[in-house]
């Protein structure tokens, strides 16, 4: 089985209920075994789309799983979960629409130590994880010594060197917030 780290986020609708349901959906997939989740964090949105009001803050977490699914079928599975929870995708590229509010967003951060690049579809490790406090803080809870297979730095080192002023704060929910 491959060890995979995911980032989950939501800032539309009942974000807590949606993230709880996303974790339940992951647990229901036969080929996925949930290992652990980070605490939930409230995180400041990066930007809003031009002409749109400032979006609500996100709830974010990191999740560790083991899976027998290869990367591409895993992505399909995660996108089905997102769609079932109301996520819509209008853009066909990774760049377009990346700051739009979401019911649920599930990103593959790491898939073992593999490096995968399928343009406009799948990039592992996630291309921007090293620039995002909302990803690194929760991930550091689960895997502080995990080494990035491209940068050869641990998650703790990436977090120490992070230049991201967006606020990231743990919620008051218990560690097993998804039960």
Residues noted as catalytic? 87, 102, 105, 107
Half-sphere exposure of 171 (CA within 13 A, CB side): 21
Structure tokens at 165: 């002023």
Beta bridge partners of 3: 66
Which residue is it, tokens 């080494």? 147
Which residue in this structure is represented by tokens 């996303």?
Answer: 22
Q: What interhelical angle do 71-84 and 15-28 show, nearest 10?
A: 140
- What would you report as the CA-atom Rg of the chain, rounded to the nearest whole angstrom? 15
Query: Quick one: DSSP state of residue 154?
Result: B
The Cα–Cα gap between 165 and 27 comes to 34
Q: Respond yes or no on whether the N-terminal peptide bond of residue 125 is cis (omega within 30° of 0).
A: yes
């Amino acid at each position: 089985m491959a060890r995979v780290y995911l980032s989950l986020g939501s800032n539309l609708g009942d974000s807590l209920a949606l993230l709880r349901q996303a974790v339940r959906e992951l647990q229901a997939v036969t080929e996925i075994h949930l290992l652990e989740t980070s605490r939930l964090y409230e995180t400041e949105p990066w930007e809003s789309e031009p002409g749109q009001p400032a979006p609500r803050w996100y709830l974010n977490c990191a999740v560790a799983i083991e899976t027998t699914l290869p990367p591409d079928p895993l992505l399909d599975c995660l996108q089905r979960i997102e769609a079932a929870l109301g996520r819509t995708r209008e853009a066909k590229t990774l760049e377009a629409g990346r700051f739009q509010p979401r019911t649920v967003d599930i990103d593959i951060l790491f898939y073992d130590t593999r490096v995968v690049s399928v343009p406009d579809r799948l990039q592992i490790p996630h291309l921007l994880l090293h620039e995002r406090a909302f990803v690194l803080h929760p991930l550091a809870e689960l895997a502080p010594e995990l080494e990035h297979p491209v940068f050869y730095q641990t998650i703790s080192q990436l977090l120490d060197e992070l230049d991201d002023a967006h606020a990231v704060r743990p919620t008051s929910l218990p560690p097993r917030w998804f039960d």
